[in-house]
Each structure stands twice: as structure tokens, then as C-alpha cells.
Amino acid sequence: MRGHDEKPRTALESEVESRLAINGWNDRARVVVIDPELESWVWDSSYQVSEILGWPDGADGLKRWMAERGFMKAGESKPARPKEAFDEALRHRRMAHSSALFSDLARAVKFRACTDAAFQRFVSTLQSWFPA
């Protein structure tokens, strides 16, 4: 569904779910549109992010660095462009994207604190499909 940036996330989710239902998927499919980016969950706990990146001055230093580069404003909890901010932080620390890095982040970041509606829908879907 490329080219539909003007539509709200929830409208896109409903539209694609309707199309899936028409084609026989019914309740066996769930659509989650991540807005702005999947990397949004990374920033829900900047303490762990700064620790994993080995950031000088910890989370406060990382937030200052992001503010200086226009990724976030004072008082914000996460950058408006999370993927771009994360990629730039990795470049700054001379670190490469790796599955080990994201694995470390996934173990460290507390998902319960995430307030992103799309991510909450994603987690809720996984929990309903794969109950503990």
C-alpha cells in the first residue's frame, strides 16, 4: 500500500484487514502499520540504549547529543525520526547494525513502557496468537 502516507495508520490497517477477510483470511490475519518506524520501540528506554551503545555520559548524554542534532526537543521522550536517530547514533559510535545488537536491545528494553499505539497493537496481536 505504498503511496498512502496521507491516510491515518488505523485506516490503512482496517483497509488491508478488510481485503484479507474478503480473500478468506477472516480472523486469521492482523495488520499492524508501524508509524513512524519500527525502531520507535528502541527509544522507550534510552537508559538501556545508551548503555548498549556505550554512550559517554549515559542516557542524558545521548539525549543531549540527539537534541543538538535536531532529532528531539527538550522534554520529548524519543526522537521524531527514530530510525534515522538510531542509525546516526550507531555511526557516531562507529558501530554496525547487527542481529546481536538488536538482540541485546530486545533483552534490555522493557516493552511494557512503550506508549506507541502501533507497537502496542503488534504486541497484543502476538500475545493473543502465542499466549504465555
Closest CA to 8 of 30, 36, 27: 36
Task: Judge whether residue 72 has pLDDT over 80.
Answer: yes
Task: Judge whether residue 88 has pLDDT over 70.
Answer: yes
Average confidence (pLDDT) over 112-132: 81
Higher model confidence: residue 106 or residue 22? Answer: 22
The domain locations on the chain are 7-36, 38-124
pLDDT score for 1:
47
List, for residues 36-56, the tens digit of each pLDDT value: 666 666 776 667 889 989 998
Confidence of residue 23 (pLDDT cuts 50, 70, 90): very high
